[in-house]
Amino acid sequence: ELSFAYFNQNNVGYVQARVMSDTGKIGEMVSWRMMDIVWNGSYLIFVFVNMFLINAELALYILLLVPIAVLIIAIFQKKLVVLNRKIREINSRITGNFNEGITGAKSIKTLVVEDAINTDFRKDTSRMEKTSVHATGYSAAFSAAVTIMSSAALAIVLWRGGIITMEGVIMIGTLSVFMNYALNMLDPIQGIIGSISALIAIQVNIERFTKLLNTKSDVADTPEVIEKYGDTFYPKKENWEPLHGDVEFKDVSFQYPDGNEMVLQNFNLKVPQGTNVAIVGETGAGKSTLVNLVCRFFEPTEGQVLIDGRDARERSQLWLHSNIGYVLQTPHLFSGSVRDNLKYGKPDASDEEIWKALKLVDAEAVVNKMEHGLDSEVGEGGDMLSTGEKQLLSFARAILADPRILVLDEATASIDTLTEKAIQDAIFTVIKGRTSFVIAHRLSTIVDADVILVVQDGRIIERGRHDELMKAHGYYYDLYTRQYEEMVTDMVN
């Protein structure tokens, strides 16, 4: 339920360490260590009660060591928490780098940076080793200090008990019982100290995981909206209104959560149902900002985004997302079969509907050449397919859902020229009757758009149809003519 802002600001290793490593350690603590503490604690209570019943004086001498033990625990706890927090931070960094090393293996090899990556990895693991050894040393010193305290208890029994035994206050048998109790206290005390040390170490994991659980999404439905429309996991689809497709930006200003300046300022735009909006600009200009707001991946800092005349925040995120088809520039497929991946767009889709969507985006050939057709595995992240093939299947998945709003984020960037032509024809067919937002790098693909928004440095500097913008001889004109000249040069060469 967390917003995209959270994942933009926290890397994979950071989140993975909390969900996998931290929860594993917490689970181990709850299932084993807590039982050890209860068992050993119960035994010690039994021992001290018997000691007081046998001889209160000797029992009080031993209890005098308790405040000293508490002080020792407090001193060591503070240092151990700091060290274990540092260990978990380094572990998160190592996990993140390890994940990037696996997913970016091809880039690492082609860039020949194995040595640099290995050096960085060794630096992190070396820091991990030094910090872990430091923490283990403190933990060992902690256990040694408590063992000394336990031995001191036995010494007191021998010293004071011997005196009062000689005085005839207690029998030698009673002293023997006390000595046995003092000796047998060592094991449960060691067990409790071990569990306390583990609890101290796990405190950092609990802090981090609790922080994750308490993290509030930057984009959240109000209680009133959840009451009527449900939430992501318990939707109340019977209350969902049909989405027509009118979109309006009304006095919208926006600043990214981790940014320090407005990228939109008092922006207004009406997009009637069925309108094709193209968003163009240089790489990194901020073209995705508008579609992020339409999809409610982010909330406007000021103003409103209206869907069918109502503020998008008045209805649930799931209602909106269920009516949006989004094709990313970098396609992603899940482990499983082709059929499984396409059904993410429409879980109850029939094979006939699936083949219709594949045919519409000219992806039939991709599936037909696979050994098991729709039942063929695509591999982790779709790694068994080329980028272009993954893009075609992603496009088919979006179309299968029959969305009322279609977002294409440079969807043809990873496809060859021949396939791009087929996709462009499919897009022309698919967007009819749908509101569409097309982020494009190749300007030749959006000349027929109803409105073109030109983005520079995160701001919309021009808007209009293709012919209007060309006549204006502005920034769009420069972009288009530059691309056209590059295309002609490539054809000549």
CATH number of domain containing 88: 1.20.1560.10
pTM of the model: 0.69
pLDDT at 110: 61
Q: Positive or negative CA dihedral for 78, 80, 83, 85?
A: negative
Residues 210, 241, single domain; the answer is no
Rounded mean pLDDT, 118-124: 87
Smallest CA-to-CA distance from 150 within 192, 194, 183 is with 183
Whether 422 has a pLDDT exceeding 80, the answer reads no
Q: pLDDT-based confidence at 492, cuts 50/70/90?
A: low
Residues 202, 246, single domain; the answer is no
In the chain, the number of structural domains is: 2
Q: Which range is least confidently modeled, 49-58, 61-70, 342-351?
A: 61-70
Residues 124, 31, single domain; the answer is yes
Is 340 among the domain residues? Answer: no
Is 101 among the domain residues? Answer: yes
Which DSSP string do the residues of 409-447 spell out, in sequence order?
ESTTTTS-HHHHHHHHHHHHHHTTTSEEEEEESSGGGST
* CA 413 – CA 415 distance, rounded (Å): 6
pLDDT at 381: 82
* CA 101 – CA 104 distance, rounded (Å): 5
CATH number of domain containing 318: 3.40.50.300
Cβ(50)–Cβ(181) under 8 Å? Answer: yes
Whether 69 has a pLDDT exceeding 80, the answer reads no
Residues 118, 267, single domain; the answer is no
* Domain membership of residue 172 as a residue range: 4-214
Is 39 among the domain residues? Answer: yes
